[in-house]
A and B are shown apart, each in its own frame.
Chain A
Amino acid sequence: MPRKLETKSIKNLLIRGARFIDPSQSLDQHGDLVIENGLISRFGNNLPAPQNFEMLDGHDLVVSPGWCDMHVHFREPGREDKETIATGCAAATAGGFAAACPMPNTSPATDKREIVESIIKKSQDTMVDVYPIAAATKGREGKELSEMAELVEAGAVAFSDDGCAIATAELARRAMEYANMLGVPIIEHAEDATLDERGAMNESMFSTKLGLPGMPTVAEDIIVARDILLAAYTGARVHIAHLSSARALELIRWGKQRGLPVTCEVTPHHFTLTDEAVATSNYDTNTKMNPPLRSAHDLEAMIAGLQDGTIDVIATDHAPHSIEEKETEFAAAPFGITGLETALGLIMTRLVKPNLLTLSAAIAKVTVAPRRILNLPAVQIKEGQPANLTFFSPTKTWMVDKTKTYSKSRNTPFHGWELTGKVFAVYNKQQLWLNSEF
């Protein structure tokens, strides 16, 4: 059973002596912050403590706008044995995320008003703002467009057939045109299915050695190229999900240089692990995901893309699966790993600590950028704004333990890893969660 998230309803709070970072206003300063009735009422130095306020000592802590993961799988409706909206949101909070966008590959697919509304409704008791992404085509079958206008009215913030690409160029074009009319982006899972059929890992010297059918990077590149050209042709906004190929990154860089409305995200595992992990782990199915772990060359390109801004967003692609589905032969196991509870630690350990990315740039990729791409309400550390905050230590170390997750699932390749960077607390919706293991 997953752990239960203990939250407290707190309207008034004083945070003392923390380092506040808000990339949207180039803010990076130490100070105090007062929350009254869930709103930021004062921000400054040596603020007097109002009476009957709870106080948090912020020394050695960073406080940023609440993090937003624009790519998660909460499995509800359909596979509540793996995750529910409640447990997914608990995992999000524990990972420092105050907002999450569940993908539509539920069962049935999130392609109807009622499903979108039900996802939002079920998230209301949690500390997480949940913004569903709806299916671009009915049933994610790649045949007919979903009823996008109604889905946007119900609360969908983008469209995707995630799990696979929108099946044909024609349909992708029409989905873009229609989504553009509604002012929302298309999020593409870039994978040419014909090139990846039966594939289980990146096609490389390691797939050759291990005798596993390969998934070539060109399968990703082709759809990225297709969609950039369609974005140019239609004017629609396209966001490439979980980028993993160096060449696909080059294509996006090319598109951005020409001012095309293209954005993209990368997952922590794609800037942390390579396909060699499949070999060194002796076919551990927690190294199986889609897109697959790529080569060291691709990984280096992802880091360069984060540095030069070609990659806008870090998103987890949190993909919970049951133990019995993952404890099997590699070819039979489903794709995906959990990500919400390890993201912050991996971002700090792999990017910030080795000085590959500044703290502020890293925070921008999980706060400002995803909310801008999805037109979500901006979250800022500013007087008068609703308090929506993530508190963490960028230097504290901890050990990943898959038996202690808030997610219902444990399919992580990072079990036993020592990570630097630990979540201390999240404040959102007038509620506070404090990490009891900090």
Chain B
Amino acid sequence: MIISKHLLGLEGVRREEISLILKTAQSFKEVLSRPIPKVPTLRGKTIVNLFFEASTRTRISFELAEKRLSADSINFASSGSSVAKGETLKDTVRNIEAMKIDMVVIRHQASGAAHFLTQCLEAGVINAGDGQHEHPTQGLLDMMTLQEKFGRLQGLKVAIVGDITHSRVARSNIHGLMTMGVEVAVCGPATLLPRDIAAAFGQDLLVFKKVDEAIQWADAVNVLRLQLERQKNGLLPSLREYALHFGVTRRRLEDAKREVVIMHPGPINRGVELESDLADSEFSVILDQVTNGVAVRMAVLYLKSGGEQEVMNGNGA
């Protein structure tokens, strides 16, 4: 299988590649449980983490993945757009590349920023979240978590609840899950559902107007973080109303009389999109998602740096 050295999104990524990443991630997860959770796989490789937007868990997760693979990793953090800093994004990254690096992990507030980097750089580019576009490693770790929980992906029903318009997590999940044969639904206030959703993602994508209907239907519910500024921007009447009508609560799960797995990409606004108690309940796999995040990112970094052949030969970890 020929795979790109970049991971820009899950749109268009083939089923075989996703399966390979998830399988590789499983073997790296085993590494993480060893007394010395480290392999020499990427020794001598240099990876730069470029974070133009505040992030705690994704940055730490990538850093840990790099360290577990014995790569040399460097962090660059800058908030605000590159224009505001007076240096263009292109200049910033070309300067960094001139220091001889192998791979770039980028988080940026602008959709398409990772694509843009591929036009400026020779190095491989891993998208750690670009604006409202995609967050492919989040999509992969969500799939890994689902696969662990249910033993399969094919035929599962997953509902994504919340602010779909502004969510890169939603887009990566929709593309990845649909490729893997999962039935996908979205549910959220009309003001937070993007335009022409069926044309964009396919007629198979279901839309629920009521969260109760989504819970009734789903095997797993992926609850998105609600950005607090949506109220200020006039997209929501109030957080209170959101919590009342779209918040995922234990009561709603009990009413559905179904065992539904709860996922959340974090950080959680407890009591807004997700009831606090539910986040820590037996339904929740939120901390498994975090653990799997490191394994998935190890798999991505490894495969994208040219390790595919070894995986095929069973020497992956």
> Which residues of A line the B interface, CB within 8 A?
203-214, 216, 282-283, 324, 327-332
Contacts and interface: CB of A to CB of B under 8 A. Distances in A.
A214 B116 contact: no
Contacts of B113: 329
B89 interface: yes
A204 B88 contact: no
Nearest to A200: B111
A211 B196 contact: no
Contacts of A216: 195
B133 interface: yes
Contacts of A205: 195-197, 199-200
A268 B168 CA distance: 34
Contacts of B200: 205-206, 208-209
A210 B195 contact: no
21 contacts: A203-B195, A204-B199, A205-B195, A205-B196, A206-B200, A207-B195, A208-B195, A208-B201, A209-B200, A210-B112, A211-B111, A211-B171, A212-B111, A212-B132, A214-B194, A283-B112, A328-B82, A328-B83, A329-B116, A331-B111, A332-B82
Contact of B196 (A204, A212, A283, A329): A204
B194 A212 contact: no
Interface in B184-224: 194-197, 199-201
Given A209-B11, A211-B171, A331 B131 contact: yes
B11 A211 contact: no
A328 B199 contact: no
Contacts of B132: 211-213
A212 B195 contact: no
A283 B116 contact: yes
Contacts of A328: 82-83, 88-90, 116
Most buried by A among B112, B119, B199: B112
Nearest to B167: A211
Given A211-B171, A329-B89, A331-B110, 15 more contacts: A204-B195, A205-B197, A207-B194, A208-B199, A212-B133, A216-B195, A282-B115, A283-B111, A283-B116, A328-B90, A328-B116, A329-B81, A329-B116, A331-B131, A332-B81
Nearest to B115: A282
A210 B99 CA distance: 31
Contacts of B171: 209, 211
Interface string B99-116: 000000000111111011
Contact of B112 (A282, A324, A327): A282
Interface in B37-90: 81-83, 88-90
A282 B116 CA distance: 8
B142 interface: no
B197 A211 contact: no
A332 B194 contact: no
Interface in B113-132: 113, 115-116, 119, 130-132
A203 to B, nearest CB: 5
Contacts of A324: 88
Given A324-B88, A328-B116, A331-B110, A211 B83 contact: no
B112 to A, nearest CB: 3
A216 B82 CA distance: 27
B273 interface: no
B308 interface: no
Contacts of B112: 210, 212, 282-283, 329-331
B50 to A, nearest CB: 12
Given A283-B115, A332-B110, A211 B88 contact: no
B134 interface: yes
A208 B115 contact: no
